[in-house]
Amino acid sequence: MPHPTTTAVVLVWANYDEEYAGQTISYTIQPGDETSVNLPKVTLSGAVRPKLFFDLYSLVGNEAVLKVLAQTPDGVDHLVAQYDLTQTSKNGWERKLVDLSAFYRRALYHCEV
């Protein structure tokens, strides 16, 4: 009598290769994977029209949503921008600008992208 076998199924959300410094780097992203980039505490006192700039790399067919949060000294996270990456129309880098004028004259404990 044959023994039953167990087959593991791993759902892959995105699988792609990227050239970096002359080498091919493979990426596998699965549903539910998360990442964040944190910036140090900054004060916006004296800033005129404060903004956060960053470059975002996305691929057509991306199924993610990118949220940019700013945390104030009271520990509250504020959603300051949100990007629906399903709307990506071409592969590559795009410069993003986030207006932080709502935090004029306040300290930000960190921004999380």
Query: Tens of pLDDT along 3-35?
Result: 444 444 444 455 677 787 888 887 777 677 777
| Pairwise CA distance, residues 24 & 12, whole Å | 19
User: Could you read off the pLDDT of 44-75 as tens digits, one per residue?
Assistant: 777 788 888 888 888 888 878 888 888 777 88
Residue type, 102: A
Largest CA distance in the chain: 78
**What pLDDT score does 108 carry?**
56
Rounded CA gap, 103 and 29, in Å?
A: 34
- Round to whole Å and give the CA distance between 106 and 86: 33
Residues 6+ apart with CB under 8 A from 90: 60
